[in-house]
A and B are shown apart, each in its own frame.
Chain A
Amino acid sequence: MLAYTIRRLLVAIPLLIVSTFVVFLLVTFSGDPLANLRTKQPPPSPQVIANYRHMLRLDQPVLVRYWHWVTGLLHGDFGPSVQGGGTLDIGHALFQRILVSLRLVIAAIIIAMILAVIVGTISAVRQYSIADYVFTFTGFLFLSLPVFWFALLLKEGAIWLNNHIGTGFKTLGESSPIVGPGFGSHLVDALEHLVLPTITLALTAYAAWSRFNRSSMLEVLGSDYVRLARAKGLSRSRVLIRHALRTALIPFVTVTALDIAALLSQTIITETVFQWRGMGDFLFTAIRALDVYAVLAWLLFAAIIVIVANLIADLLYAVLDPRIRYD
């Protein structure tokens, strides 16, 4: 298993290199990083523009720029940034943002998975019951909700409640600007800010997962081994949990692991609505600022997440299914 993991990671390296190269070309040719500078009023002196050109290595061929970028990465240098007057440390800034986003993503994934397993299982066991129809409809509804619209709705609803009932929902940012002393109050403050974005993200993620769990449960419930388990005289709960759910979780866990990468898109939208200073804000600000290296750093991180999620999915498969052995 360890050997397999190492081999998989080694195989991922060429993919990552090609991926970064394609991304590098894409970002390089998607626009002029100095366009904002050139249209500035009053116009900056040609010397300033030339300085930026040199700092961003625009005076060098593309391949050389890529080479500089990659070798820089190996030393932990993510390249120069046009933001903050050229002083922004991309690596450091991105890392801070990732930590902020990670809270949201992890909380949402845990809630979404629990919800999906419960709802999907009930739906499958009580197929064509009223509960199944209700769960199916709400599942499809959340599958079809634009995440930003739902987030805005929640946010406005929370504001309305705050104003009329006096609840204390936190609707802006990932933390309050002024927090009382001590770790405890910071933690409480962070959790309070987590509530609404987590609900948004969890509900958008759970929808597809619960549908998947329902169909994989249905397949297992119709299987011969579940019928044999019943024929052995096992209790209903044991048949459902030890035989049906245990086996249905194999594809379910794999699919959710793969989906975590896709959850990134929903996360950055949710963050935008709740004005979190997380990865979403980092990316969108970098794009608007035409900050090539900041965008590259973000995409590199996203690609690593995708590759790692794929690996985790494969490893989980092997852990859960004795028929799969990687040696």
Chain B
Amino acid sequence: MTSRPEEPLDLSSPGAPVQGMSLRQEAPPPSAEYEFTVRARRQWQLVLRRFLQHRLAVASLAVFIAVVLFAFIGGALWHYNYQQFTGDYSAPPSLKHPFGTDAASHDTFAQVLRGTQRSLEIAIFVAIVSTAFGTLYGSVAGFFRGPLDSVMMRVVDLFLTFPLLAVAAILGDQLGPKANGWFWIALVITALTWPYVSRVVRGVTLSLREKEFIEAARALGASNARIIGRHVIPNVMGPVIVTVTILVAAAILTETALSFVGFGVQAPDTSLGLLISQNQTAVETRPWLFYFPGVFIILIALTINFIGDGLRDAFDPTQRRVRA
């Protein structure tokens, strides 16, 4: 369950400090800051090394980066615009139209490029904003505990009683058609996902609070803000990053589902979910209209999930160990 300082564990992974403080005894503690930076660099190196050993995660990262570049750079280079009528109606995939065209002669490749870009923008927005806010919120609640924590966590409970998709649909119905529809959709999904991050962060913060290096920092007279900023937040980044990868995948799926049922991104803009919704009757006659957007959603969500798995193993290698 927990690793004990007994063979063969400590041999098979020499000095594997996950949240621990393996260098603490070696490094003389002139100040808590110094001690922390030494330890952090070692830990990030170990995390990176372990991540690189997860081949599927590394391959997924490469594919994900390729998809991101494809969506953001490809759209600018491709000779069709996603709104342009090409004059080729319902054409199957060809060199001219790699993903074919729809009944209105739009180039599907250009539409998928655009849709991928929109879906990624929303997912990345959700990831950054909900992580930032959720981390801050959760670490403050966990650090101060007491009544403040209780009140803050009841607010989180409140947010979690709303079913994400339903509330997003209600708000998306009003906000989706606005000028910056995608931004509002992203904001709504963010508002409903940050509580998940804050719950994870609060849990980790509560246990970190009891660790010696926090006490040491306090003994040295560090302010609460400094302890949270320099000691708590960097140490919760591992669990947070893992949670965020799950959230990004979930955000992509939520956005596409929302657009699919008609409460997300609205025409004339497009997203991968909207494309599938518009072409759902074409599966048999013009399958390219249905499969390509779907494959891109899966590609994005799958690679992010694998990256998350690799990061989880890298931050917390206990599950990879084999024991008696």
Contact = CB atoms under 8 A, between A and B. Distances in A.
Chains A and B share a contact (CB less than 8 Å): yes
Interface of A: 15-16, 18-19, 22-23, 26-27, 30-31, 127, 140-141, 143-149, 152-153, 156, 159-160, 215, 218-220, 222-224, 227, 261-262, 264-265, 268-269, 272-273, 283-284, 287-288, 295, 298-299, 302-303, 306-307
Nearest to B169: A287
A319 to B, nearest CB: 22
B324 interface: yes
B273 interface: yes
Which 8 A-B pairs give the minimum distances between C-beta atoms?
A144-B301, A265-B165, A144-B302, A156-B283, A149-B294, A222-B323, A303-B161, A223-B1
Interface string B157-172: 1101111111101110
A311 B87 CA distance: 59
Contacts of B163: 261-262, 264-265, 299, 302, 306
A220 B306 CA distance: 24
A177 B276 CA distance: 28
A215 B318 CA distance: 11
A298 B166 contact: yes
B164 A140 contact: no
Given A159-B284, A288-B173, A299-B162, A146 B167 contact: no
Interface string B234-269: 000000000000000100011011001111000000
B294 A146 contact: yes
Overall SS of chain B's interface: helix
A148 B284 contact: no
B324 A227 contact: yes
B172 to A, nearest CB: 9
Interface string B272-284: 0100110010011
Contacts of A127: 322
16 contacts: A140-B305, A140-B306, A144-B298, A146-B260, A146-B273, A159-B284, A219-B1, A222-B321, A227-B324, A265-B163, A269-B261, A284-B169, A299-B162, A302-B161, A302-B162, A303-B161
B319 interface: yes
Given A30-B171, A141-B302, A222-B322, 13 more contacts: A19-B162, A144-B249, A144-B302, A145-B298, A148-B257, A148-B277, A159-B284, A220-B1, A284-B262, A284-B263, A295-B170, A303-B162, A306-B160
